[in-house]
């Protein structure tokens, strides 16, 4: 058994090395690679992903996994869970022919490059054939991996195990029924919120200092976490001691980067605080995209957009921007950070209307994957849903169907994790509040006890526990979306005096 475990860990280290290299290349492409570097990168990705595919489906690994899984009682918990995860992954991968897998990786890299240009140029026509190709691949892969499921359910399952259209249809119907009346009430009789003081010029070099301060307050260890600048902020990590968050500075919008850093910082805290026993293990990461987003959106919204946090941040903001923010009180900041208004761009949306943006994407993805909507018809369908769900007219594809990077990265079935994650976050907060005086801590800028609470119940487990177990572990009860709609209704009724 000892020898089997040793060989298994050796195999894991090799697989991890390929993933590490691919991850660094991806990060490099998004941050500093010159535009013309794409073609060479594509070839390298082809070679590395072929090797990575071979490793994850290798016959030697299959034998090792069989021995380990037949002797579960004789091995430790971490090794057992690693064997289970790799075995599931192998089962999925084996069903996808290697040539198709490699061709897909290269197609995805190409689509991502074209999308960047198409977005800048408002040129959906240039991106459309690439998108059609990725959808075709995803539909085929879904059929290979889980032939017994509708294709979109198979894709959802990759990001949130067990999540189905049936569950999501009911979830979104409920969220829509509860939140649309609040959105309408704000429009009809909510107080007017003045955020005109945010329409100033905020020098980027000062915003960089603000990012450093936010990361420090969030207890993010800079020896293990770097911050880069990109068009579309994201977080990636290679192991718990090398996490990369990113942001985008807009001179005329202070809150945009502010909340990007808090959001990505939430992702980083999760990865940074996975257990030491999971260092460089495939389990040393978030349990699912929904749980990951629950952490980023917990810090971004529940902590970051709370009155307590803005009271704490106020002196720092006044120190950095004394002229720009002259006369602005903490309460004015709080209202500005929570102004609710149906809008065009998901990443700039307020908490209340956010899930409407997700519903648009969910409705479209279902049809694209089912084959009932073509990529040619997509922009018109997108615009129609924005009118229906948010009451806004989409002026161009840059602020419409081209706004997000997910589809160009072949990620279909990912978007619902944002909404589910927000709902998890509300429930987690309700549980945390029973044990910690959260607003009191936040107002003093003491986030360490909050991070420790989350580490104890969620972070340290990495992928050792499944999403549903983690929610039970943190909340003492199964997932209940009512916390989300109640939290939003209460918060926004107070803000708008409904
Ligand atoms: Zn996120």
The DSSP-derived string for 166-201 is HHHHHHHHHHHHHHHHHHHHHHHHPPP---GGGSS-
Q: How far is the CA of 215 from the centre of ligand 1 (A)?
A: 16
Q: How far is the CA of 158 from the centre of ligand 1 (A)?
A: 16
Topology, domain 165-495: 1.10.1370
Annotated active-site residue 348? The verdict is: no
Helices then strands, counting H and E runs in the chain, come out as 20, 3
pTM for the structure as a whole? 0.93
Length of the chain counted residue by residue? 498
Cα gap 85→171, rounded to integer Å: 28
Element (H, E) at 82: helix 77-94
What letter would DSSP give residue 274? S
Q: How far is the CA of 14 from the centre of ligand 1 (A)?
A: 28
Q: Where in the chain is CATH 1.10.1370.30? A: 165-495
Instruction: Give yes or no for a contact between 393 and 342, defined as CB atoms under 8 angstroms apart.
Output: no
Q: How far is the CA of 137 from the centre of ligand 1 (A)?
A: 25
Tokens standing for residue 218: 């969030």
Cα gap 150→331, rounded to integer Å: 49
Q: How far is the CA of 451 from the centre of ligand 1 (A)?
A: 17
Catalytic residue among 82, 128, 160, 264: 264
pLDDT tens sequence for the chain (498 residues): 899 999 999 999 999 999 999 999 989 988 999 989 988 998 998 899 889 989 999 999 999 999 999 999 999 999 999 999 999 999 988 999 989 988 998 899 899 989 999 999 999 999 999 999 999 999 999 999 999 999 999 999 999 988 999 999 999 999 999 999 999 999 999 999 999 999 999 999 999 999 999 999 999 999 999 999 998 899 999 999 999 999 999 999 999 999 999 999 999 999 999 999 999 999 999 999 999 999 999 999 999 999 999 999 999 999 999 999 999 999 999 999 999 999 999 988 999 999 999 999 999 999 999 999 999 999 999 999 999 999 999 999 999 999 999 999 999 999 999 999 999 999 999 999 999 999 999 999 999 999 999 999 999 999 999 999 999 999 999 999 999 999 999 999 999 999
Cα gap 317→329, rounded to integer Å: 11
Q: At what angle do helices 77-94 and 38-56 cross, to 10 degrees?
A: 110
Tokens standing for residue 27: 């990060």
Phi, psi of 308 (to 5 degrees): -60, -45
From the list 286, 309, 293, the residue with the least C-alpha distance to 346 is 293
Q: How far is the CA of 4 from the centre of ligand 1 (A)?
A: 38
């Amino acid at each position: 058994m000892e020898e089997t475990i040793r060989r298994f860990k050796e195999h894991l280290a090799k697989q991890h090395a390929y993933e590490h290299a691919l991850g660094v290349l991806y990060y490099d492409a998004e941050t500093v690679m010159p535009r013309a570097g794409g073609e060479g990168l594509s070839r390298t990705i082809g070679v590395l992903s072929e090797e990575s595919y071979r490793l994850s489906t290798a016959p030697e690994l299959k034998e090792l996994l069989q021995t380990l899984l037949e002797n579960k009682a004789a091995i430790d918990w971490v090794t057992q869970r690693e064997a289970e995860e790799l075995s599931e992954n192998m089962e999925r991968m084996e069903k996808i022919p290697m040539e198709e897998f490699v061709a897909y990786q290269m197609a995805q890299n190409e689509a991502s490059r074209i999308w960047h240009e198409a977005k800048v140029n408002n040129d959906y026509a240039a991106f459309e054939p690439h998108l059609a190709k990725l959808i075709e691949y995803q539909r085929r892969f879904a059929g290979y991996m889980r032939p017994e499921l509708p294709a979109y359910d198979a894709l959802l399952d990759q990001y949130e195990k067990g999540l189905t259209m049936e569950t999501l249809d009911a979830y979104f119907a409920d969220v829509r029924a509860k939140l649309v009346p609040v959105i309408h009430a704000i429009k009809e009789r909510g107080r007017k919120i003045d955020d005109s003081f945010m329409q100033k010029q905020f020098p980027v070099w000062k915003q960089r200092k603000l990012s450093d301060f936010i990361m420090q307050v969030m207890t993010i260890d800079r020896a293990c976490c770097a911050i880069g600048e990109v068009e579309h902020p994201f977080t990636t990590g290679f192991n718990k001691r090398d996490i990369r968050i990113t942001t985008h500075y807009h001179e005329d919008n202070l809150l945009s980067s502010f909340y990007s850093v808090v959001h990505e910082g939430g992702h980083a805290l999760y990865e940074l605080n996975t257990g030491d026993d999971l260092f460089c293990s495939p389990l040393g990461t978030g349990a699912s995209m929904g749980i990951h987003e629950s952490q980023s959106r917990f810090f971004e919204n529940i902590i970051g957009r709370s009155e307590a946090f803005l009271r704490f941040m106020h002196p720092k903001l006044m120190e950095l921007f004394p002229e720009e923010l002259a006369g602005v009180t903490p309460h004015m900041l709080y209202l500005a950070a929570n102004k609710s208004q149906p809008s065009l761009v998901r990443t700039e949306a307020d908490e209340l209307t956010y899930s409407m943006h997700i519903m648009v994407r969910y409705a479209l993805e279902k049809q694209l994957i089912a084959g009932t909507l073509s990529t040619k018809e997509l922009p018109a369908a997108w615009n129609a849903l924005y009118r229906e769900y948010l009451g806004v007219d989409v002026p161009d594809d840059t602020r419409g169907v081209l706004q997000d990077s997910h589809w160009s990265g072949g990620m279909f079935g990912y978007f619902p994790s944002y909404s589910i994650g927000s709902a998890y976050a509300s429930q987690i907060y309700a549980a945390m509040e029973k044990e910690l005086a959260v607003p009191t801590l936040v107002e003093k800028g003491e986030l360490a006890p909050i991070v420790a609470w989350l580490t104890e119940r969620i972070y340290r487990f990495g992928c050792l526990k499944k999403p549903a177990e983690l929610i039970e572990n943190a909340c003492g009860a199964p997932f209940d979306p009512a916390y989300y709609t109640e939290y939003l209704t209460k918060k926004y009724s107070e803000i708008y005096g409904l």
